[in-house]
Structure 1
Amino acid sequence: MAYLLDLGMRHELVLPRKARPGDRIAVLSPSFAAAGAFPAIHEQAMRRLAEVTGLVPVEYPTTREVGASAAARAADINAAFADPQVRGILAVIGGEDQITVVPHLDAGLALADPKPFLGTSDNTNLHHWLWGLGIASFYGGSSQVHLGPGPAVDDIHARSLRAALLTGERLEITDPGESEDVGVDWADPRALESFGEREPTQPWSWYGPRRSVTGATWGGCLEVIEWILTAGRFPFPAAVLDGGVLIIETSEELLPARDVGWIVRALGERGLLSAVDAVLVARPPVSDLTRRPDAADRAQLREQQRDTVAAVVQRYNPEAVVCVGVPFGHTRPQWILPHGGALTVDGAERRIFADYR
């Protein structure tokens, strides 16, 4: 099954087949090996991954190797694609240097046996590499953040994890009603049983015409998208995204709204904003383990980013349906979303649906 996008030639996005309970899932560290730095969190994540999905987690040489070379990490990715018994690939976490891993990847292996890949943040590099090959993936899923810490796996994460890996169903993306920017320090034993400081969420903000858009998704972490474009790794005309849905979010680096706006503006100048029919912007983290503004300041920081991004998108594409505040990025609970698959953004009914085929 595939979506076809018109590039003047046909660009197929293959939707990899689903796993079945009992199949193996590769658990990799394509960026930072948090599994090795904080093994107790990782081991709890592996138990929960098996419980939630019925899949068998399989680790590779660099899954727990902090400081592994880019070539060694790429070798694990290549090995996972080469193994016919592996039916899914999950990243432990993101990082900041996956851009150096991509040149070592074997496109032939991924094309010969496409598999669902799940990851967030720095894994935007891998998502875009796969997308360029014509392979859809799933944006989200970080075993070290969303499976290992806390008393349990969040319901919306578990549901979308199973949909992405196993069932391929269509789910409505909803607001869980609470959110945390950062959990308990993983070096603290309490991280195994306690969530971070959670606070009530606010209603999502909608902009643009009151119409419904269904399109293939493309995007990820804004900071990483900027690196990918700078490295020349999106060699496509903007028209490749015609009618699509742009999904963007910001990282734990806590960029000021002005800087976020500059990146989005660059996407506009590239023609990417005018190409899409809808834009989803994630609820941004505005605090971390060392910086925790008070509640009023946190709300203001989110509002500043919301207003900045919405204004830039509307400047380049006033016909786009825009929704800001959706929990799919660096906050928790987190929805995993299709990357290359279909998303429906209904500006009339104020609802969002994801197709996990």
Structure 2
Amino acid sequence: MSTPVHPPKPRPGDKVAIVSPSSGLPGLLPLPYELGLDRLRDEFGLIPVEYPTTRRWGSTPRERAADLNAAFADPEIKAVIASIGGEDQITVLPHLDRELIRAHPKPFFGYSDNTNLLLFLRNLGIVSYHGGSVMVELGRPGALHPRTTDSLRAALLGSGPYELSPSAAVGDVNRPWETPETFASEPLMEPAEGWFWHNADRVVTGTGWGGCLEILAWMLMADREIRPVEEYAGQVLFLETSEEMPGAGEVYRILRNMGERGLLRQFPAVLVARAKSWSFEQPLDAPARAAYRKAQREAVLRALGEYAPETTAVFDVDFGHTDPQLVLPCGGLIRVDGPARRITVTY
């Protein structure tokens, strides 16, 4: 693969596109969305520009793709940011204008279902950014998390190396977005367990590839934006799971099937996010959340042991569906220094 392109970053006063490539939740849940827009203006100095489907629930894949094509084509737009994720972005990809987007590269920020777009852009040779949605990170109740803000600011407005570090306190429990009382105080946080290192005896530097594990499974099933496995040799895999909270068995089976495809062994290092272990459908207490995260780590280790036993792995890294959230570059460099227990990304 050719050297990835790092699109120029916006500056304070620039316009940025706010899009909903997966779902029009801003129209149904305006409180975190409006708060996120205000913080983009006030904290980052950027001018958010909404597109026709940003707040529209039920837009077609073709309509959402039209917004994306327009955002990349507009010379006044300096970055593209997803409002939130969803579950059908894979149906949007066929309607995107590859040559238009390749000719007008811009930084894109999103995660979860936006894994589709991250890997679409990566295959065009464009570095994109896993993290930083408007409704979740920017619309966080009470206040922006300072660690999230620092990482997002570095990725969105800056460039160069950025060292990740484990957070002392993390959050997992949500409150309903429908009620104004939710936004009067910050989410509940609890002491973090730190990062867990496995095979930490080497230094690996490679371009980042990955995203939400459930979305990757769908993309693999549809053979959408997946390159021949040999093209991933030497890269750094990053994986996270969503608020749907897949069980340890499902996590193992997805990774087993990636192993059977010959994919897992291509990556000399893998970063695994701190698993989202609470949802409104599964409101686990603290011991159950810890057990869920432990079972997921063990499932990943089982698959690695069978298909990539030499791979260095770091668990409970603060990215994905986590609070705080650190931004990872998809297609940009990630350095995993096992002996020093350090992770450095290049924005």
Global fold match (TM > 0.5): yes
Question: Match of 2:206, SS?
Answer: strand
Question: Match of 1:111, SS?
Answer: helix
Question: Match of 1:13, SS?
Answer: coil
Cα shift at 1:21: 1.4
Cα shift at 1:57: 0.7
Please say if residues 24 and 55 of structure 1, whose CA atoms lie closer than 8 Å, have aligned partners that are also in contact: yes
Q: Corresponding residue for 1:82?
A: 73
In the TM superposition, what whole-angstrom CA distance separates every residue of 1:63-101 from its partner, at most 9, and x where no partner exists? 111111111111110100010010100001000011111
The residue correspondences of 1:114-263 to structure 2 (distance < 5 A) are 114-263=105-254
Indicate whether 1:297 and 2:288 are aligned.
yes
Distance, in Å, in 2 between the alignment partners of 1:291 and 1:316 is 31
Cα shift at 1:177: 1.6
Number of matched pairs: 347
In the TM superposition, what whole-angstrom CA distance separates every residue of 1:251-289 from its partner, at most 9, and x where no partner exists? 111111110011111111122211111000000111112
Q: Corresponding residue for 2:265?
A: 274
Please say if residues 18 and 165 of structure 1, whose CA atoms lie closer than 8 Å, have aligned partners that are also in contact: yes
In the TM superposition, what whole-angstrom CA distance separates every residue of 1:165-200 from its partner, at most 9, and x where no partner exists? 211132211122222224221001122222333221
Please say if residues 142 and 187 of structure 2, whose CA atoms lie closer than 8 Å, have aligned partners that are also in contact: no
Cα shift at 1:233: 1.5
**2:34 counterpart (33, 43, 48):** 43
Please say if residues 149 and 183 of structure 1, whose CA atoms lie closer than 8 Å, have aligned partners that are also in contact: no
Please say if residues 82 and 134 of structure 2, whose CA atoms lie closer than 8 Å, have aligned partners that are also in contact: yes
2:327 counterpart letter in structure 1: I
Cα shift at 1:209: 4.2
Distance, in Å, in 2 between the alignment partners of 1:149 and 1:187 is 13
Please say if residues 208 and 314 of structure 1, whose CA atoms lie closer than 8 Å, have aligned partners that are also in contact: no
Cα shift at 1:308: 1.2
Greater mean deviation of Cα atoms: 75-84 or 289-298: 289-298
The percent identity for this pair of structures is 47
1:63 counterpart letter in structure 2: T
Cα shift at 1:13: 2.0
Moved over 6 A (4+): none
Instruction: Give the structure-2-normalised TM-score.
Output: 0.97
Question: Match of 2:4, SS?
Answer: strand
Question: Match of 1:348, SS?
Answer: coil
Instruction: Give the structure-1-normalised TM-score.
Output: 0.94
Question: Match of 1:90, SS?
Answer: strand
1:104 counterpart letter in structure 2: H
Please say if residues 120 and 139 of structure 1, whose CA atoms lie closer than 8 Å, have aligned partners that are also in contact: yes
Superposition CA RMSD, Å: 1.3
Question: Match of 1:302, SS?
Answer: helix
Please say if residues 209 and 319 of structure 1, whose CA atoms lie closer than 8 Å, have aligned partners that are also in contact: no
Indicate whether 1:26 and 2:42 are aligned.
no
Please say if residues 182 and 331 of structure 1, whose CA atoms lie closer than 8 Å, have aligned partners that are also in contact: no
